[in-house]
Amino acid sequence: MTIPSCQLYLISPLDVGGDFPEQLQSALEAGPVAAFQFRVKDMEQDEAARLAQPLKEICDAHDVAFVVNDDVALAKRLGADGVHLGQGDDDLKDARAELGDQGQIGITCHDSRHLAMEAGEGGANYIAFGAFFPTETKETHHRPELDVLQWWSKMMEIPCVAIGGITPDNCRPLVDAGADFLAVSGSVWNDPKGPADAVRRFTAKLSAD
């Protein structure tokens, strides 16, 4: 299967218990996925690690990068491929010291070109812009325009991720503007036909180059 130039980056729902491992398995079997972000909140590290381990094993089996949201210590404990940091989370330099050169570190930059340049110059492996569309996954206060993706793709080699309310129906302009990855959550896990169907529809849109 040809890997499209813009790839899917799945973000977990907050509830990753119950049958979620089966949902993840079906999603990863449905089409190319570059990365999966484990995102839980207000949970003891031991419990988070217990829930994360089977999900990491599923990702490893499908050659999908396993990224931990906001928690460098948990990422290191799990042997995760990387960590994603918001502006209020651990310092990029400290995270790099903990995870080493091989750890993939992503940085949320909202709609700010300045923050994106700082992250890129500071050694981030990717930066994320958003939210491009209304989303219920998390509270957002920033709404970037498509031209920030165009600017970044011309300016920098470091990949950029578009995030926020992205669906198979609205994603194509982000791809055309230069997004390297689409970070999606609710539009996959809450799809009425199931995660696999959502991934297949995203794949069709992303493959239409």
Answer yes or no: is 14 within a domain. yes
* Bond from prior residue into 34 cis (ω within 30 degrees of 0): no
The per-residue DSSP string of 71-108 comes to -HHHHHHHT-SEEEE-TTSS-HHHHHHHH-TTSEEEEE
pTM for the model: 0.95
pLDDT value at residue 2:
58
Answer yes or no: is 112 within a domain. yes
36 token code pair? 């999966």
Give 198's Cβ-side CA count (13 Å radius): 25
Mean pLDDT score of the chain, rounded to an integer?
94
Comparing 69-73, 94-98, 204-208, which segment has the lowest mean pLDDT? Answer: 204-208
Answer yes or no: is 2 within a domain. no
Give the domain range for residue 193: 7-206
Answer yes or no: is 193 within a domain. yes
Residue pLDDT, tens place only, 85-111: 998 777 999 999 999 999 999 999 999
Answer yes or no: is 65 within a domain. yes
Element (H, E) at 29: helix 20-30
Residue pLDDT, tens place only, 135-191: 776 666 678 999 999 999 999 999 999 999 999 999 999 999 999 999 999 999 999
Answer yes or no: is 102 within a domain. yes
* CA triple 103-98-185, angle to 5 deg: 50
Element (H, E) at 183: strand 181-184
Answer yes or no: is 134 within a domain. yes
Answer yes or no: is 156 within a domain. yes
pLDDT value at residue 136:
75
pLDDT value at residue 139:
65
CATH number, position 129:
3.20.20.70
- How many structural domains compose the chain? 1
Residue 135 vs residue 30, higher pLDDT: 30
